[in-house]
Structure 1
Amino acid sequence: MEPYVSDEEGDEQEKPLLHRDKDIHVQRAPACCSARYGLALLSSFGFFVVYSLRVNLSVAMVDMLNNTNHHSTNSSSVCPAHSDPPRPKRNHTASVYDWDSETQGWILGSFFYGYILTQIPGGYLAGRLGPKWLLGFGVLGTVLFTMLTPAAADWGAGYLIAVRVLEGVGEGVTFPAMYTMWAAWAPPMERSRLLTISYIGAQLGTVIALPLSGEICFYLDWTYVFYLFGAVGLLWFVLWALLVSNSPNDHPRISEQERLYINSSLKNELSTSTDHIPWRSIVTSVPLLAIVVAHFSYNWTFYTLLTLLPTYMKDVLGFSIKENGFLSAFPYIGCAMLAVLSGQLADYLRETRHCDTVKVRKAFSLVGMVGPAIFLVAAGYTGCNYTLALTFLTISSSLGGVCASGFNINHLDIAPSFAGILLGITNTFATIPGMVGPVIARSLTANNTMEEWQTVFYIAAAINLFGAIIYTALGQGSVQPWAVKTTFNHGD
């Protein structure tokens, strides 16, 4: 299928978006105190919640295990252990469990078995029912099941796996629903800025949840990790329900200037009717295939580190539960910073016509996928040089943040009317690494040797490089013809 180049895209190098149409001159609405940036901040808070709920088990798991019975989870490590300064601990009454490495892998990966089920339905339902309540109730369900985690763990590993699957079902609708929301709210030349602000919450959730979970485990016990983060999720749901609207036209407090600015900037990019979904064109779209491969490849590395970095820090590098949380968060601090900076740079390059959209998306994806692959492999050869290992892991994850302005936003470039459905499709495939990655990695690292972890890092790096090559070859930056048609052939 040949890419469709809209009139706006064709003029991309000649005049800025807001002045392409000679008949309409729309003044840009200020960002300060605007409804669209308010939505970005509140959605960022929402992704903070869902990612903190997603990763806190990775840290709590270290404290949930009976360390006296399993050599693979005891205090010994490949490198000399680091000891904390002695500090008084409160009485810990939480249960501990005799789970082997394989069981741990299934527990850590079980979330994604539910998560994958609601990706495509989430994109479809967001378009039909509206994204606000779909996303809100999806997160609320995740919060409630998270708060059941301690009880489920006491009942048995099988019950804990079931609860984690149900958490994934609730959280699976969040990204497709948010993309559907941004299709109606994000002016094309502000997409990178708004979406990176929105999704920085995911990185901040990781950054804060990892060390804070370690502190909670140290001073209280691991059960409070799930209760306290769950309470934060309940607060977010109340704010979301009161302050958010599905579109600018529904928002009771938006200024008329901002409403006109958003609607006018999107008028030539959205289909006049989304009652008919061109499924055949969507599933045969080569640009979408490129995003699928890139998203799958990137997530293999991301989920490997997200779920297993605390284990690596403890069993190989010898850091305690409290140190573990802080040090495991370092890579995501850099990722969050580069995600925001890359969003500003990407929109600047597009708006000033230094680079067209497809070049920006490909360049940022290359940096955000090849760079992490190189430094991830390098981290496996640092031995017990803790500083160098942490530096390489931090650089690897930080460079990955550049992808936030690469393939990650490309759904809105090629088909804004169906962005939620496209994200659902790509995220379905991109969830597979979260399902199988931890299981494979734990199977390969049964003895927690340096060589075993090097193999895990090599696999992740190779998959990342493959995705970067495919996306560079096949990615597109323009609205596809099936995304703007108002009439469709039968069966399309």
Structure 2
Amino acid sequence: MTIEEPSKSSESVAFTHEAPRRNCFVRQRYVLASLGFMGYFLIGCLRNCINITVLSMVRWNNTETNVTDAVNSTVGKSEGFDWSSDQEGLFLGSYFYGYICTSILGGWLGNKFGFPIVFGLPVFISALLSIATPIAAYTSFPLVIACRVVIGLVQGLAVSAYQCCWSSWAPPLERSILNSIALSGVPFGIGFVYPFAGYVSETLGWEAVFYILGGVTVGWSVVWILIVSDSPRTNRCITAAEVAYIENSIGFTLKDMQSQDVPWGAIMKSRSVWAIFVAHFCDNWSGYTFNAILPTFMSKIFNFNVFQSGAVMTAPYIAQFGVSILAGYITDAARKRKWIRTSVARKVNTIIALSFLNIFMITACYCATDSTTAVVLFGVGVALRGCIFSAHLSSLVDIAPMYAGVIFGISNTIASIPGFLGPLTAGFVIPDKTSISQWQTMFWINGAFGFFGSIFFFCFGSGVERNWAKKKVSEEETEINLKQKSAHSDDEC
């Protein structure tokens, strides 16, 4: 398939401003995906940096925490906040108390008022709160908890709002790669922030972690506001050819999307939507729980210290970033060449991400005598989870492109529940952290969720746009749109 600019169709494109348009050779939809990657990267960093900084923030007590002398000497803590174990747990989990409350609202606001402001402004606010976190921590414990809760609230808005962008920016056959580029910022951020936060905490102090990450995020927010527009037609750098290609491929504009009422009833009755909800919940159960318990598993079973356990988490998430981009590219290439239908592609990626992750994890927990083999298996399993961004997380744009943000908001709210329940379940199942049989039981529980989610999505998932999600237009408009789409079906930018 050759790539050509639809010159004829671009002649009729009318823009909403009179600024001279540059002949930009960079496709702006990929600029948007790249900026989204950086946004998600920074969100991941601001969310997870406390998992490392807490080691320097809290005053360690050997008799209470069972931290080894070697680890204590590395952490070097004779000072810190005198927080109890319960307070420390509240601090680590406070983000999700806010995050779970605003996902649905974020999707709706992004759909109504445009994703640029609903994504950019909350991330900017979370950056300011990150900078204020050390001040809040030194002031009072309730204040730093409130700070983390509000960061969760605003980032919950942002994460759901961003999904609205693909409704007006992503050609149907490029949704996998565009969504993968953006969402892969999260695992890349997790892989980056562990060694970064550890190094900065040791050299500059834990406060510097929040100042640096917050400052970089403020800078990103400024770039985001200056560059990003809510639709191709209002972008100042995009070519007319790219606008025509995107709009002809999608079949509706941002104005069309904002004029439609959200079909809440149809969304909640759709089997395809519930397939996404179930797969998202089961994926997050496995992902959140493994992320929370793997360092402890490495510490108690293989006697890794805190920093070795954190290092084990770094490489797999960086690999997951690479797998997500590769999976997105291969998926869209196969779809363009009609080697595989969109529905099948989404299901295959979901099975790889959910089932294969747990197969490798379960196998690894039976290698308690060989830490090298276990670490390799863990790494492969976490890396393969990168296929998830070309799976059900792209399916929501396939089945309801105009309401992707709303559906993602609902799904993300449901899928945030494992952030609480997974680690809580692990606490009940593994009272003795040195018992390999108890760890194996927990890994099988995680596997059950992963296998069930992949099977459910295989049975009920889809990659075909639903009738209730299509634009409501008159018969005359429908006929005109079909003729225009047919005339430019071979054009690609």
TM-score of the two chains, using structure 1 as the length reference: 0.85
Distance 1:153 1:339 in 2: 36
Aligned to 1:289: 274
CA contact (8 A) 1:18 1:25 kept: no
Between the aligned partners of 1:416 and 1:204, the Cα distance in structure 2 is 26
Greater helix fraction, Structure 1 or Structure 2: 2
Shift of 1:442: 4.0
Aligned-pair distance for 1:63? 3.2
Among 476, 487, 492, the alignment partner of 2:462 is 476
Aligned with 2:448 (options 440, 447, 462): 462
The letter of the residue matching 1:419 is A
170 and 25 in structure 1: CA distance in 2 versus 1, 3 angstrom threshold: closer
Secondary structure of residue in 1 paired with 2:102: helix
Q: 1:219 to 1:381 in 2, by over 3 A?
A: farther
The aligned runs of 1:250-265 (5 Å cut-off) are 250-265=234-249
Q: Distance in 2 between matches of 1:136 and 1:185?
A: 17
Match of 1:413 in 2: 398
1:213 aligned residue: 197
Cα 1:344–1:156 change in 2 (3 A) is same
CA-to-partner distance for each residue in 1:96-148, whole Å, 9 max, x for gaps? 43432x54443322211211111111111111111101101111122222233
- How far apart, CA to CA, are the structure 1 residues paired with 2:430 and 2:206? 25
- Determine the structure 1 residue equivalent to 2:28: 35
Name the aligned partner's letter for residue 172 of structure 1.
G
Q: Which residue of 2 aligns with 1:5?
A: none
Query: AA paired with 1:44?
Result: F
**Counterpart in 2 of 1:13?**
none
Mean alpha-carbon deviation: is it higher for 291-300 or for 313-322?
313-322
Q: Distance in 2 between matches of 1:323 and 1:223?
A: 23
Deviation at 1:227, TM superposition (A): 1.9
Task: Specify which of 330, 348, 351 is matched with residue 333 of structure 2.
Answer: 348
Instruction: Verify the 8 A CA contact 1:18 1:265 in the aligned structure 2.
Output: no
Note closer, same or farther for the CA distance 1:34–1:18 as it changes in structure 2 (3 Å cut).
closer
Q: How far did residue 93 of structure 1 move?
A: 8.0
Distance 1:105 1:463 in 2: 25
Counterpart residue number, 1:231: 215
User: What percentage of aligned pairs have identical amino acids?
Assistant: 32
> Residue in 1 aligned with 2:159?
175
Offset of residue 223 of structure 1: 2.5
SS in 1 for 2:416: helix
Structure 1 partner of 2:67 = 74
2:260–2:471 Cα contact (<8 Å) kept: no
Indicate how the Cα distance of structure 1 residues 198 and 414 shifts in structure 2: closer, same or farther if over 3 A, else same: same
Runs of at least 5 residues in structure 2 that lack an aligned partner in the other structure: 12-22, 475-493
**SS of corresponding position for 2:425:** helix
- AA in 2 matched with 1:187: P
Q: Give per-residue Cα distances to partners, 1:418-438, cap 9 Å, x unaligned.
A: 110011011110111113323
Q: 1:404 Cα shift?
A: 1.1
Question: Are the counterparts in 2 of residues 152 and 160 from structure 1 also a CA contact under 8 Å?
Answer: yes
Cα shift at 1:313? 4.0
1:67-466 to structure 2, matched below 5 A, reads 67-75=60-68, 95-100=80-85, 102-155=86-139, 157-267=141-251, 272-273=256-257, 274-383=259-368, 385-451=370-436, 452-466=438-452
The Cα shift of 1:40 comes to 1.1
107 and 462 in structure 1: CA distance in 2 versus 1, 3 angstrom threshold: farther
- Residue identity opposite 1:401 in structure 2: G
- Is the CA contact 1:218–1:321 (under 8 Å) kept in the aligned structure 2? no
CA RMSD of aligned residues (A): 3.0
**Cα distance between partner residues in 2 of 1:18 and 1:422:** 32
- Quick check: 1:58–1:108 contact (8 Å CA) kept in 2? yes
Could you list the per-position Cα deviations for residues 302-355 of structure 1 after superposition, in whole angstroms to 9, with x for gaps in the alignment?
112334444444454433444343322122022111101100111011111111
Tell me: CA distance 1:201–1:403, structure 2 relative to 1, closer, same or farther (3 Å): same
Report Cα offsets for 1:200-249 as digits up to 9, x if no partner. Answer: 21121111111111212222332222222111111111111111111101
Q: Helix, strand or coil for the counterpart of 2:463?
A: coil
In 2: Cα distance, 1:247 partner to 1:155 partner: 44
- From 31, 42, 50, the counterpart of 2:43: 50
**Helix, strand or coil at the partner of 2:163:** helix
Tell me how far apart the structure 2 counterparts of residues 270 and 357 of structure 1 sit (CA, whole Å).
24
Q: Distance in 2 between matches of 1:434 and 1:189?
A: 33
Count of matched residue pairs: 459
Are the counterparts in 1 of residues 362 and 440 from structure 2 also a CA contact under 8 Å?
yes
8 Å Cα contact 1:121-1:424 kept in structure 2: yes
